[in-house]
Amino acid sequence: MASPNHTRPRRTLLWAAAFFCLAQLGAGLLLDYRWPQLRFPSFHLVLDELDGMAPRGPDVVFVGSSRFASGLNRDILEKGLRQGLGDNRLQVLLAMVPAGDCIYADYLVDHVLDRGLRPRLLIVEVSPETVACRNRWLELHAARQFTWLDVPHVLLDTCRSNQVHRLLQAQLLPLVVHRRQICRAAWEVLAPDQAPAHRKIAWPKATSDKSPGERSAGGAAFIAEWLKDYEPGGASAAALEHVLQRCRDRGISVVLVVPPLHTEQRTLYVPAIEDAFGAYMNRLTQTYDCGFVDYRSRLPDSMFFDNHHMVSDGAERFTALIVDDLLGNGCGAAGLAQAY
């Protein structure tokens, strides 16, 4: 009687493991360099709008997160800037995505400059937490835009932010992380008539099951964790300074803006945090000749539906404020009137 072959199952398992690893590696490379829209679909909606402004491109670009998205009224913004400058052809790009911080701003500016475009003015959302060494949004960046080439530059920050597992998962298991986007794309190719409609960017909305106070407290708790051992720096600050350096070299004015925030979040910025953040902003404005405006306390709490997202009345008020400051040079030497 022949003895059982114990090596065949082992060989089969090794081949299966090798195939799995190669499939994940190959899929990751394809998502990084051939189909990046599957990794970061909300950004590619922004790129579609940017390409629709060709060949002139946008004159003013707002880049930020859902905080900016909830606080900027496009109609009021465009009408106010066009009337104030006497330029009916002025084009504004609202380049906001969920968790759109300084790392995202650097990513966006790369794409704008690669297209040979030169806006007159770039307005970048900042806040104490989004220029900190620790970054709670790194898990989203790991899935959306970081490639293997970025890993050495962000590894320390992901360790500080307890996001190493997210970074490794995004790089080693891309077919798992992006399975929904891949399935949607496959459906569009195989059955375009039955494919789901393209989604717009999903911004936060008020929900009926929680009060504004509960939403504000819950959101502030997330920010409080982010602000532990606060220190400006790391990949976030490096990305912001990279943006400022390239814009200065190309004659693009920049204004850094802290959007309005609910009292629940503003109380988290204790004097030590305020001193460190203020010193860093002062250094940036002096080094890169950019503007800086802090709107954190400019709106009443009634104009928020959580700790940092505004309701429609708040958006109208904030948009009017920022238009007045840009036109009246309230944003410093880098205001829009100066850029024109």
Q: Is 165 within a domain?
A: no
pLDDT given at position 182: 80
Q: Is 102 within a domain?
A: yes
pLDDT by residue for the chain (340 residues), tens only, comes to 455 566 778 888 888 788 878 888 887 888 888 888 888 989 999 999 999 997 889 999 999 999 999 999 999 999 999 998 888 999 999 999 999 999 999 999 999 999 999 999 999 999 999 999 999 999 899 889 888 888 888 888 888 888 888 888 888 888 888 888 888 877 777 766 655 555 666 666 655 567 777 888 888 899 999 999 999 999 999 999 999 999 999 999 999 999 999 999 999 999 999 999 999 999 999 999 999 999 999 999 999 999 999 999 999 999 999 999 998 866 655 556 565 5
Q: Is 197 within a domain?
A: no
pTM of the model: 0.87
Q: Is 211 within a domain?
A: no
| CA-derived radius of gyration, the chain | 23
CATH of the domain at 126: 3.40.50.1110
Residue-range definition of the domain harbouring residue 272:
41-132+218-339
> Cβ atoms within 10 A of the Cβ of 274, count?
13
Q: Which of 267, 200, 232, 271 is nearest to 102 (CA)?
A: 232
Q: Is 169 within a domain?
A: no
Q: Is 138 within a domain?
A: no
Q: Which of 219, 142, 125, 135 is nearest to 177 (CA)?
A: 142
State how many domains the chain has. 1
Q: How far is Cα 141 from Cα 129, in angstroms, rounded to an integer?
A: 15
> Cβ atoms within 10 A of the Cβ of 57, count?
17
The neighbouring-strand residues paired with 63 are 95, 124
